[in-house]
Structure 1
Amino acid sequence: MIRPYLCTASELNEQANEVFQEALSCHQSLRSSVHTIGGATVLDAGIGSLEKPGAVGSLRAGVMLAELCLGGLAEVQLVPASDDMVVDQAVMVSVDQPVEACLGGQYAGWPLSVGDYFAMASGPMRVLRGREEMLEHLQLTTTNQQPEVAVGVLETDQLPSEEVIAEIAKQCEVASDQVRLAIAPSTSIAGSVQVVARSVETALHKLHALDFDVRQVISATGIAPLSPPAKPGDTIDGIGRTNDAMLYGAKVTLWVDAPDDKVEAVANKVPSFSSSDYGKPFAEIFQQYDYDFYKVDPMLFSPAVVTLHSLQSGRTWRAGKLASDVLRKSFGMEC
C-alpha cells in the first residue's frame, strides 16, 4: 500500500528550523559558533579547532545536525555499540516517515559548487531546490505554500561566502535571510555523528536504485558504529571512516508493506557486500578511482546488514554481514 506523504517541502523545512533554533539557543554548550553571512544564519559546529573552542563542535551538536537533516521527523541517539562494531559508541536512528525524512531531507544529493567553494549539501532545503531526479520521481518537492525558510547542512571545512549564500537562496527560491545552515567537516566530532546517522538513508537510497518502491517502507531503524574522527584536515580519511561505518558496520531494519515477491527480489542485493568494490576501506577504494565518487560502484553505498519485515505476510529477510577487520583498519585502531 502506498501511503500519502504527511508533510510538504515547506513543512519539512519549518520542522527542521525548529531543531535549528534550538541549536542556536544553546550553541555555546554545543561548542558551536553562530555567524550571519550574506543575511543567512550559519551555525559552525566543527570548523574551529581546540584553540578556538567556540566552534570545535560536540556529540550533542552532531545529534542535532542529524535531526535537522531529517527534518525533525526522526529520533537520533548515541547508544552502546556491539562488540563486532569495534568501538564503544553507535548512532541509532528511528523513523516512522522514512522517505520524507531520509530521502527528502537527509540524503546528501546536492554537490554545492560556487567558484572555489565546494560542500556536500543535505537537509530539507534540497526539496525546495527540487533539482534531483530522485526527488522528482518520488514527488517530494510538492509545496502548497511559499516557504518561509530553507534549512540545510553543509559537509565542509570552510564557512560559505556571501556569494555561496546567494546561490543557495536562488536555487531554493527564498531570500538570503531565510537561509539556515549548519556546518561541520567529516573530520569533526559533530560531522562524524551526523554522517554516521545515515544508515537508514543509505538503505532506502539503495532500494530506490534497485527499483523497489521505497514508499512501501513504513518504518525503519538503523544503527552504525561512531567512527573516530580523522586527523584535522585529512578530509579523505574522514570521508573514508564515516563511509566504512556504513559499509562494514551498519545494521538497518525496515518494515515494508509490499508483496513478498518484491521483497524477495531485492533482499540480498541491498547490503554493501553485493558490490564488486566491497572488501577494502573506502579511502583505498576512493583513491583507486582518483577520488571521484561517480566512478565508485553505486551499489556499494549501503549498510552492511539489512533486515526486512513484511507487514503483509509476516515473513522476514536478513542479508549481509559486519566486517570488523575492515573497521579496525579504517578506524586506525592499534589493537
Structure 2
Amino acid sequence: MALPLDYIPELSPNMLAFPLVKAMIANSDQFQIEAHMKNGATVLDCGVNVEGSLEAGLQFAKVCLGGLANVQLHWHDFNGLHWPSIEVMTDHPLRACMASQFAGWTIKLDNCFFAASGPARAIMHKGKLFEALGCEDLSEIAVVCLEGNSLPTDNIVHHIAEACNCRLENLYILIAPTASIVGTVQVAARALETGLFRLRRMGYDLGKIISGSGVCPVSPVARNTHSALGRTNDAIFYGSTVIYYLRDDDDVLSNLVKYVPSAAVDGFGQAYMEYERTHDNLYMMNLDLFTPAVVWMSNLNSGNSFHSGILRPDILARSFGFTYS
C-alpha cells in the first residue's frame, strides 16, 4: 500500500500518545484511575467509577491531543476572576486539535452515547475534515478518548476496534464523564480546537496556521451531565483566549478576526443553561456557539497582530454557581 504523501511516522498521534497512556496505567493509583481489560482491549476509567484527578485530566488532554501539545494547569486572571486554567500550546495545531482532539465521532450503541475523539480518529481518517486535512495515521495501536457516563460494553469495544481496523490487544480506550474532574479539565483544553472549528466553518484555509496557544478556565465540577455541558462550554465561550500564528495578508486577518470570537455569535450574553430555556437543548444548539471568547491572530508575514472578543467573568460567575460572602 502506498503511503499518504503527508504521512510522517514521527508525528503519529497514536504512537506519541501511547507512552502517555502507559504512564497512566503504570501510575493508576497516583492518577486515581482504574485500568480494565475488555476482550483484550484496555479501558481506562478516568471518572466513571473512580474519582479521577487534576493530574489525570492533564494527561487525558495530552493523550487526546495526540502527544503533540504541551498542556499545563495554572492560575489565571480572567478580568478580575482569578481561577484555575488550562493552557495548551502546539506547533502542530491541525494534527493535534483537528485530526486528533476534535470530537467528530459519536457512538450510539447498547443504549449508550459517547462523544469520541483522540488519536484513533486519524486512523479512521473518514469525513470531509480529513479529506481537507490529510493527516492520516497508519499506527497499529489505536487510542480513543470517550466522553460518557458508563464504561463501554463488549459490543462497543468491538465496534471501536472494527472502526479503527485494529486488533483488540492494540486498542486503548480512555473514558471520563463531563461531570468529573478529568472531564472538566479535558474540555477546558479544547479552546484552541474550537477556534479552529469556527474558522473552518467560515471557510478559512487552516493550512495557513502554523502554531497556536490557548488558555481557558476549568469550570467547577457540576452535579450532573446536563449542567456540566453548560459550564464547560461557558468556560470556553466566555473565558478562553486563543492565539494563532499564521501566514496571510493583513487585510484578510484584520477583517476575519472580527467574526471568530463568541461576541460575534447570536446568543452571546447568555449562559448556556439560560440560552437553552429558549431553544431545544444543548445538543441541538448552533454549532457557532462553540468558539473562544477572545481571538488573536499573529501574522508571521508582516509581524502585525489582530484581535477581537471580550471576556465575561460575570457570566462565568453565574454559570459556575458562585456564592459570595
TM-score by length of 2: 0.94
SS in 1 for 2:21: helix
Deviation per CA, 1:111-134: give whole Å up to 9, x if none: 111131111111011121222321
Give the secondary-structure state (helix, strand or coil) at the position aligned to 1:181.
Answer: strand
Measured in 2, the distance between the counterparts of 1:277 and 1:16 equals 37
Contact 2:78 2:311 in 1 (8 A): no
Q: Percent identity?
A: 34
How many residue pairs get matched?
320
Moved more, 321-330 or 108-117: 108-117
Task: Answer yes or no: is the 8 Å Cα contact 1:10–1:128 preserved in 2.
Answer: no
**Aligned counterparts of 2:205 and 2:243: Cα–Cα separation in 1:** 16
What residue is the counterpart of 1:165 in the other structure?
157
Equivalent of residue 257 in structure 1, options 244, 247, 266:
247
RMSD of aligned alpha carbons: 1.8
CA pair 9-69 structure 1, distance change in 2 beyond 3 A? farther
Query: 1:1-335 to 2 correspondence within 5 Å?
Result: 7=8, 11-48=12-49, 55-84=50-79, 86-140=81-135, 142-143=136-137, 145=138, 147-231=139-223, 234-291=224-281, 293=283, 295-335=284-324
SS of structure 2 residue aligned to 1:108? coil
Aligned residues of 2:75 and 2:83 also touching (Cα < 8 A): yes
User: Cα distance, 1:156 vs. partner?
Assistant: 0.7
Q: 1:130 to 1:327 in 2, by over 3 A?
A: same
Q: Is the 8 A contact 1:38 1:161 kept in 2?
A: no
Q: Contact conserved, 1:85 with 1:225, CA < 8 A, in 2?
A: no
Q: 1:316 to 1:136 in 2, by over 3 A?
A: same
User: 1:277, 1:297 within 8 Å by CA — same for their partners in 2?
Assistant: no
**Matches of 2:103 and 2:130 in 1, distance apart?**
12
Inter-partner Cα distance in structure 2 for 1:61 and 1:110: 23
Q: For 1:159 and 1:240, how far apart are their aligned partners in 2? A: 23
- Could you tell me whether the CA contact under 8 Å between 2:179 and 2:222 is conserved in 1? yes
State the distance in 1 between where 2:267 and 2:9 align: 37
Maintained 8 Å contact 2:70/2:89:
yes
Question: Does the Cα contact within 8 Å between 1:123 and 1:153 map onto a contact in 2?
Answer: yes
Q: Is the 8 A contact 2:229 2:282 kept in 1?
A: no
For 2:91 and 2:309, how far apart are their aligned partners in 1?
Answer: 23
Deviation at 1:275, TM superposition (A): 0.9
Q: C-alpha deviations, 1:50-89, integer Å up to 9, x for none?
A: xxxxx21000000000000001010100111104373521
Structure 1 CA distance for aligned equivalents of residues 109 and 180 of structure 2: 23
C-alpha distance in structure 1 between counterparts of 2:254 and 2:97, whole Å: 23
Unaligned runs of 5+ in 2: none
Q: Would the alpha carbon gap of residues 199 and 80 (structure 1) be closer, same or farther in structure 2, given more than 3 Å must change?
A: same
The 8 Å contact of residues 9 and 128 in structure 1, kept in 2 or not, is answered as no
- The one-letter code sitting in structure 2 at the alignment partner of 1:332 is G
Indicate if the aligned counterparts of 2:88 and 2:192 stay in contact, CA closer than 8 A.
yes
CA distance in 2, matches of 1:78, 1:218: 23
Provide Cα deviations, 1:165-206, integer angstroms capped at 9, x if missing partner. 011111111122221111111111111101101111111111
Structure 1 residue 264 displacement after superposition: 2.7
1:95 and 1:220 in contact (8 A); partners too: yes
Whether the 8 Å contact between 2:191 and 2:214 is mirrored in structure 1 is yes
Determine the C-alpha separation between the residues in 2 that align with 1:85 and 1:107.
31
Alpha-carbon shift at residue 8 of structure 1 (Å): 5.5
1:51 match: none
Secondary structure in 1 matching 2:232: helix
Partner of 1:88, secondary structure, is strand
Give, as a single letter, the amino acid of the residue that structure 2 aligns with 1:252: V
